[in-house]
Amino acid sequence: MNSENARLPTIYLPHGGGPWPFMEPPHALARREFSALADYLKSIPAQLPRGPRAMVVISGHWEERVPTVMTSARPPMFYDYGGFPPETYQITWPAPGEPELADRVRGLLDAAGIESGEDSRRGFDHGTFVPLKVAYPDADIPTIQLSLQGGLDPARHLAIGRALAPLRDEGILLVGSGMSFHDIGKREYVAHSDRFDEWLQRIIVADRPARDADLVRWSSAPSARDAHAREDHLLPLMVIAGAAGADADPAVAEALDQRFAGVAMVGLALRHPSVRRGSGEIQGPGLGMDPHEASKGYPGNHGLGRTRVEVPIFRIADHEAFLGVIDDQARVEAFDGIQQLNAGLP
């Protein structure tokens, strides 16, 4: 297939906690985690068979009654976080919108019998501008967001993805921005994340009917509700899996497992077997919230380590850690410290 006409993959990426790339890391461990996730995001463009003409982002930070598209030609910034340094509210990522693409998205949804809406005032939330400012700092690719649908029905979001699949042949990169683990409420969160991650890695490389059926039943997976008390950060995965369709059916799977301490996170790209990968390697850790962020009550922990499963058409780069490469005792002590800080909050 000519790279100029190659079908683009669909991408599910971890966007980390708050405006993490634009703050000074508070300690060496966080610095290592920040750097590793930034490297991972920077590697994404090199993985694509061609540069995208435009992007549609499904962020875990936007829900509406029906799937709703951003229609502004110049989307504003939406700083949907709180308690961070003043400079993090001056971040800009001035990518243009594309009203025509918004119309195309709505047309595809309508053809699939899916009611949709539009919002001319919506801005880029941090599920979009944080990872994409790192991956595409020039902000020169037209980008729109598509909301999740209230109720967070996984089958509905798979159907939304299937409806949007033709965009991949039109040079449009579909990006799901969320986190495959999004809860640090229990001491056993590491074990919970490992169990959920093991299930996710197994089902995501299954053939399409089995994969979709398992994704619909995701809440029955081991430790599912410990990984996602609320599934807003998992549902973008359903959209990109739906859009991937049969392109995610694996013929061969080879696993490289290097387990480190911490919380499992997944970033993945689904592509057709005839599509050549770019020259880079998508591999690297996700980001964990450091204890200072956690003490402020922000959920999410996505971090250090790498487990990679490769198949001809599907790559899954697994990212572990919040607390990094430290022994179990140090992890327990760090968790205790976070709990003590949380206890002191109003």
Question: For the segment 113-122, what is each residue's pLDDT rounded down to a tens digit?
Answer: 999 999 999 9
Give φ, ψ of 85 to 5 degrees: -60, 150
pLDDT of residue 184: 54
pLDDT above 60 for 52: yes
Q: Name which residue leads in pLDDT, 253 or 33.
A: 33
Strands (E), 15-142: 54-64, 68-70, 117-119
pLDDT of residue 342: 39
pLDDT level of residue 180 (50, 70, 90 thresholds) = confident
- In CATH terms, 3-343 corresponds, of 3.20.10.10, 3.40.50.720, 3.40.830.10, 3.40.50.300, to 3.40.830.10
Strands (E), the chain: 10-14, 54-64, 68-70, 117-119, 143-149, 172-178, 254-258, 264-270, 306-310, 314-320
pLDDT level of residue 330 (50, 70, 90 thresholds) = very low
By 3-state DSSP, what share of the chain in percent is helix, strand and coil, each rounded to 5? 40, 20, 40
pLDDT above 80 for 240: yes
pLDDT of residue 204: 81
Exposure string of 70-86, with b = 16+ CB inside 10 Å and e = fewer, is bbbeebebbbebeebee
Q: Which of 295, 303, 240 is nearest to 266 (CA)?
A: 303
pLDDT of residue 24: 83
pLDDT of residue 198: 83
pLDDT above 90 for 30: no
Domain residue extents for the chain: 3-343
Separation between Cα atoms, residue 276 and residue 152, nearest integer Å: 34
Model pTM above 0.85? no
Q: Is 183 exposed, middle or buried (0-12, 13-18, 19+ CB in 10 A)?
A: buried
Separation between Cα atoms, residue 221 and residue 260, nearest integer Å: 22
pLDDT level of residue 134 (50, 70, 90 thresholds) = very high
